[in-house]
Amino acid sequence: MAQILVVDDSGTVRDEVCNFLRANGLAVASAMDGKDGLVKLKADSSIKLIISDVNMPNMDGLTMAEKIRTELNNSAVNIIMLTTENSPSMKERGKAAGIKGWIVKPFNGPAVISSIKKLSG
C-alpha cells in the first residue's frame, strides 16, 4: 500500500526522493525503470501519484506514462516527470499522456511537498 511510486534508475535519486517523501509522512514505493513501474502500479491500486525520471533503460518514463493510460487503462493516477531539460516534442508527448507536471532536477523537497501532498491525497 503506497500513495506514491518513485521511478528512477538511479539508486541515489530514488533513495533521496523516497526518504524525503517518507520523512514527510507519505507512503512510498519505488521502481527501477518504466517496466518495473508498470508492474508495481498494477500490483498496488492505492498509488495516486507517480514521480518518474524520463531517461531510463528498458522503458523510459514517457513510454511508461503512455502505457499506463493505454494498456493499463488507468487515467486516474497523477504523473510528474523529473527532468533535466525539455523539448516541445517531449512536452507534447507528456501532454498527450496526461503528465501533470515537470520538476527540473535536482528534486527540491520543501518547495514541492505541498503540491505533491495534494496530488497524492
Partner 1 sequence: MSIRYRITLLIALSFAAIFAIGAYAIFQAKSNATQVKNVTEKVVPSALAASDLVSQLKDVQLEATALVTATDKNIIDQVNENLTAKKAKLQEGIELQARQATNKAQQGLIRQIKENINNYFNAVDDTAKYKLAGQNELANANFYANATEFQRELGQIIETLRVEKIRTKDQAISALNQNLSQTATGISVVSIITILMLSVFGIILYRRIITPLRQMQTMMSEIATSQDFTRQVPVERMDEIGHSIVAFNMMIVKIQERSAELKQKTTDILAMLQNIPQGILTIIEDNKIHPEYSTYLETIFETRNMAGRDIMDLVFSNTNIGADALSQIEAVMGACIAEDVMNFEFNQHLLIGEIEKKMPGGQTKILDLSWSPIADDTNTIVRIMLCIRDVTELRKLAIEASKQKRELEIIGEILSVTQEKFHEFIAGSIRFIDENELLIRENPGHNADAIAYLFRNMHTIKGNARTYGLNHLTNIVHEAEQSYAELLKPRPAIAWDQATMMENLLAVKESVEHYARINELSLGRKGPGRRGNIDHYMMVEKRQIRETLQRLEKVNTSNLHELLAAHSSVQGTLRLLGTERIAEILDGVFASLPALATELGKEPPIIDIQDNGYVIHNHIAGLLKNVFMHLLRNSLDHGLESPGERLQQNKPAAGKIKLQMAAQDGMLQIRLGDDGRGLALARIRKIAIEKNMISSDTLLDDEETANLIFLPGFSTADKVTEVSGRGVGMDAVQNFVKRENGMIKIHFYDDKTGANFRQFEFIVSLPQIFSENVKGIDFHTQTTIDGILAELKFTEALPVAG
CB 3 within 8 A of CB 30: no
CA-CA distance, 59 to 93, in Å (whole number)?
Answer: 15
* Residue 10 binds partner 1 (CB under 8 A): no
Q: Interface with partner 1 by CB under 8 A: which range of 5-13, 34-42, 66-74, 94-102?
A: 94-102
Which range, of 4-12, 18-26, 37-45, 110-118, touches partner 1 by CB under 8 A? 110-118
Q: Quick check: helix, strand or coil at residue 4?
A: strand
With contact defined as beta carbons under 8 Å apart, do 65 and 52 qualify? yes
Cβ of residue 88: shortest distance to partner 1, in angstroms? 8
Number of residues that bind partner 1 (CB under 8 A): 19
